[in-house]
């Protein structure tokens, strides 16, 4: 089983790239954003809690996020592997994911980070906000607050995965197809290669 963590700030292109990668490598794409939005749309108790937190520009607490993600993994018992998009975001989540995957006899294979300049990403999100209808994409101060949260809570994951020799930074600026190629080059050199055949 191959499990990829796709890493990057809001607007870095994780969702766009995940669509290509899940098809190419036959992975189940689990986006915490999609999971939250599905809960919010359904008006679940969890969804309403997450909505209030997200609209403030804050990150949803680890325990809620982890339990939702574990449920999503368990709903896909025949998966060849997973593409985690937006999770883990903290060391606590990373440790919880490691423990959960270990209980299933697997592990995170690699963490790939899409790297891009904050100002470029802010412009991208404000543009997306014109059509996405997402309030958190329409307010620059909220966007920059998300980046501050990211830097404080998520950036330490770089050390966490680097210490496991599983961290791979990739330039996230350029044409979509070029970025996909860079990501594929990293995944293609991972073991076990027979999974891709």
Catalytic residue numbers? 14, 89, 128, 134, 146
Q: Which of 190, 143, 4 is nearest to 87 (CA)?
A: 4
65, 32 Cβ separation under 8 angstroms: yes
Cα 157 to its chain centre, rounded Å, is: 12
The H or E element that residue 31 is part of is: strand 28-31
Q: What is the residue whose two structure tokens read 């997306």?
A: 128
Contact status, residue 137 vs residue 129, Cβ threshold 8 Å:
yes
Residue 12: DSSP 8-state: S
Among 174, 179, 15, 161, smallest CA distance to 94 is for 161
């Amino acid at each position: 089983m191959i499990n990829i963590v796709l890493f990057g700030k809001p607007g870095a292109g994780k969702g766009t790239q995940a669509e290509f990668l899940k098809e190419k490598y036959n992975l189940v794409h689990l986006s915490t954003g999609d999971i939250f939005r599905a809960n919010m749309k359904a008006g679940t108790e969890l969804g309403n809690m997450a909505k209030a937190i997200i609209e403030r520009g804050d990150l949803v607490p680890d325990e809620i996020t982890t339990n939702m993600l574990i449920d999503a993994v368990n709903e896909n018992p025949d998966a060849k592997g997973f593409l985690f998009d937006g999770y883990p975001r903290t060391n606590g989540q990373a440790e919880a994911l490691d423990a959960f995957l270990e209980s299933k006899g697997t592990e995170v294979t690699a963490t790939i980070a899409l790297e891009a300049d904050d100002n470029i990403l802010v412009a991208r999100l404000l543009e997306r906000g014109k059509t996405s209808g997402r309030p958190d994409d329409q307010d620059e101060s909220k966007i920059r607050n998300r980046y501050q949260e990211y830097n404080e809570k998520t950036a330490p994951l770089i050390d966490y995965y680097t210490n496991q020799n599983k961290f791979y930074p990739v330039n996230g600026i350029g044409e979509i197809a070029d970025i996909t190629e860079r990501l594929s080059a990293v995944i293609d050199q991972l073991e076990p290669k027979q999974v891709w055949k």
